[in-house]
Amino acid sequence: MRYKQTIDLDDRHRTQLVPLLRTVIESEALSPSQFHTLLRRYARPDGGMYSRSDLIHAYRELAGTHGLPPYDEGVLLRLRRKPVRTSSGVTPVTILTKPFPCPGTCIFCPNDVRMPKSYLSDEPGAQRAEQNGFDPYLQTYTRLLTYYSTGHPTDKIELIILGGTWSFYPETYQIWFIRRAFDALHDFGSGIDRREEVETALRETSQFHPDRNTTHVQLLGVDLSRSYNQTVQAVYRDEMRRSYELAEAIALGTQSRAPGDEYATWDELEAVQRFNETAACRCVGLVIETRPDHISVEEVLRVRRLGCTKVQIGFQSLTDEILRLNKRGHDVAATRRAVRLLRQAGFKIHAHWMPNLYGATPETDIDDFGRMFEDPDFRPDELKVYPCSLIESAELMQRYQDGSWRPYTHDELLGVLVACFRQTPEYCRLTRVIRDIPSTDIVTGNQMTNFRQLVEEELDRQGVRSPDIRAREIRHQQVQADDLHLDEFRYASSCSQEIFLQYITADRDIAAFLRLSLPVDEEPITPELAGAAMIREVHVYGQSLEIGENTPGVAQHLGLGKQLIERAAAIAQAHGYARLAVISAIGTREYYRKRGFEDGSLYQFRTLAT
């Protein structure tokens, strides 16, 4: 693949870059200050210092020439900016849907009409979305290009779709959004760049293009005379009407499609899914977010047909009174039903939970968190802990002004999070603690985005560490098969016996895991799953590597995934199951075919010996 780079490697640049790269290659490790000194010593001939992307481009082009040794992935790792982004084994690409009405009326939720509900235009991911007019192709492509330019692999992508309540968007928009994200994966993997064509169409037709999205309407939480939904529908009235009318006309065959039209069919989506199975840039995980009260059997199966493998779902609280006070719009029973249906269908369940909501106290929050893992009806696989932040556009401002709500003090919040970390079981991954909201948007309360580090330091002072997955990932550690042993942890859910298989070191650092679900005796959510145990997730940690790449000491190529699958098959067979199903992502279907699985309608299956 060739993409436009920041510099041309003429003699002037090579004179500086070759000795700079040689020094990096010969140095096993450089501290940030040493690296900065090196950049100053070999400055650009036209002034300033080379960027990481400059160095990575030069290394890719010059390795094996001009006296430099052959290309080595380890050198690229040292040149990467933020290598931790892909140290969990996949490369995450987050894209946002457009501003759109939301069924919720939560008092803690921001009301930024430039964004989908609950997001703020100052957040990094939201800024990228707005700059690309919320177009899925442009968002996906530009994010991939950033990763490539900074030395990260782009062949195994976890596509994370955020923004409001996914299930509330029109189905044709959802199909189109995912289809266009896949188009970007395929174009990028083939070295094709259609961004200019897409941006031209966006500029001509969409109010969301940055040049045309000029609304300055702001909502204030102290006086919400108009709701977010009312305002969004007023501001984007013409855009929404055009979108609905266009989708209807195309469906009826009375109008042909233009490049920027937000419409696609199931057949078109399934075609790009088939292409992605063996593409250079594969989707190995697809994530959407929604609310518990928008989960039903039909919705679960429809989302699965879209290719989804994980659902982010807002628990927020597991106390009915807290949900009522915060106008959440559903009760805890709705969360129980949603988790059960998602688990029956094999999805990874990624919960959101919020301490410091209106009506809560540090003590009740710690109890609430404990219920999440004590009660078999919940027990999520992953969790984001988002302490409530006071945003000026949120209705919570009214409760702050009348004195009925206040943010926790630093020590109170630290105490709550330390207690939560200690209660998190090994099968759960705490993916994020503290939402990345700019301090300028927070009226009062915690503004520290590195609070997770403070929690971990306090745990270390107490002589413990969080048992959760993220705290134990091996990341960049070199590991050999002899360093690992298989550990099995069993726990009950509302509809299954769950077995968490993990390869860990003597210190319980985790190199790989598999989530196996053994359904209890009940009618499956779809006849396709009758008589089947379910693999809900297989994950191998360590720095993400290109497909087919083999690097000694790296967990991704020790065969751990295959060994976990074989162990899962043996367990399922011992429990009397005739088949083993897997909720595979589009880009992992080929991987499972090579391991004896055959394609079904929504899942892949392997027959077990009787």
Mind listing the pLDDT tens digit for each residue in 413-446? 999 999 999 999 999 999 999 888 888 899 998 8
**What is the mean pLDDT of the segment spanning 244-252?**
82
| 210: its two tokens | 């940055």
Q: Which of these, 348, 355, 178, 186, lies nearest to 263 by C-alpha position?
A: 178
- Phi, psi (deg, nearest 5) at residue 498: -100, 135
* Higher per-residue pLDDT: 298 or 44: 298
* Higher per-residue pLDDT: 89 or 530: 530
- 291-471 and 473-607, same CATH topology: no
Q: For tokens 């989530």, what's the residue?
A: 515
- pLDDT-derived band at 543 (thresholds 50, 70, 90) equals low
d(Cα 439, Cα 85) in Å, to the nearest integer?
Answer: 23
- Which amino acid is present at 58? A
Span of 59-73, 140-154, 331-345 with lowest mean pLDDT? 59-73
Q: Which of these, 199, 210, 207, 218, lies nearest to 120 by C-alpha position?
A: 218
The pLDDT assigned to 361 comes to 98
**What is the mean pLDDT of the segment spanning 350-364?**
98
The pLDDT assigned to 157 comes to 97
Asked if pLDDT for residue 5 goes beyond 80, the answer is: no
User: pLDDT tens digits for 160-208?
Assistant: 999 989 999 999 999 999 999 999 999 999 999 999 999 999 998 888 9
**What is the mean pLDDT of the segment spanning 225-233?**
91
| Residues 112 and 120 sit within 8 Å (Cβ to Cβ) | yes
Instruction: State if pTM tops 0.85.
Output: yes
- pLDDT-derived band at 56 (thresholds 50, 70, 90) equals confident
The pLDDT assigned to 428 comes to 98
The pLDDT assigned to 43 comes to 86
Q: What percent of the chain has pLDDT over 90?
A: 67
SS (H, E, C) 335-370: HHHHHHHHHHCCCEEEEEECCCCCCCCHHHHHHHHH
Domain ranges of the chain: 11-79, 99-157+164-285, 291-471, 473-607
The pLDDT assigned to 554 comes to 53
* Higher per-residue pLDDT: 449 or 165: 165
User: pLDDT tens digits for 336-354?
Assistant: 999 999 999 999 999 999 9
Asked if pLDDT for residue 396 goes beyond 90, the answer is: yes
| Residues 96 and 125 sit within 8 Å (Cβ to Cβ) | yes
The pLDDT assigned to 240 comes to 83
- Which amino acid is present at 564? L
Average pLDDT, the chain: 90
Q: What CATH number does the domain located at 473-607 have?
A: 3.40.630.30
Helix (H, G, I), strand (E, B) or coil at 313: strand
Q: Which of these, 101, 406, 356, lies nearest to 240 by C-alpha position?
A: 101
Asked if pLDDT for residue 41 goes beyond 70, the answer is: yes
Would residue 216 be called left, alpha or beta, if left means φ above 0 and alpha means ψ between -120 and 50 degrees?
Answer: alpha
The pLDDT assigned to 137 comes to 97
Q: How far from 530 is each of 5, 307, 497, 500, CA to CA, in Å?
A: 52, 20, 16, 22
d(Cα 433, Cα 468) in Å, to the nearest integer?
Answer: 13
Q: Which of these, 584, 586, 572, lies nearest to 531 by C-alpha position?
A: 572
Burial of 379 (0-12, 13-18, 19+ CB in 10 A): buried
- pLDDT-derived band at 2 (thresholds 50, 70, 90) equals very low
Asked if pLDDT for residue 61 goes beyond 90, the answer is: no
Asked if pLDDT for residue 311 goes beyond 70, the answer is: yes
The pLDDT assigned to 213 comes to 82
Across the chain, how many H-helices and E-strands are there?
Answer: 21, 14
291-471 topology per CATH: TIM Barrel (3.20.20)
**What is the mean pLDDT of the segment spanning 232-241?**
87
**What is the mean pLDDT of the segment spanning 559-566?**
96
| Dihedral angle sign, alpha carbons of residues 439, 436, 93, 243 | negative
Asked if pLDDT for residue 7 goes beyond 80, the answer is: no
Q: How would you classify the pairing of strands 510-519 and 496-504?
A: antiparallel
The pLDDT assigned to 1 comes to 35
| Residues 405 and 325 sit within 8 Å (Cβ to Cβ) | no
The pLDDT assigned to 151 comes to 86
Alpha-helix runs per DSSP H in 253-318: 266-276, 297-305
| 605: its two tokens | 């299956």
**What is the mean pLDDT of the segment spanning 90-105?**
94
The pLDDT assigned to 597 comes to 98
| Residues 137 and 224 sit within 8 Å (Cβ to Cβ) | no
Mark 136-161 as b/e (b = at least 16 C-beta within 10 Å).
bbbbbbbbbbebbbbbbbbbbbbbbb
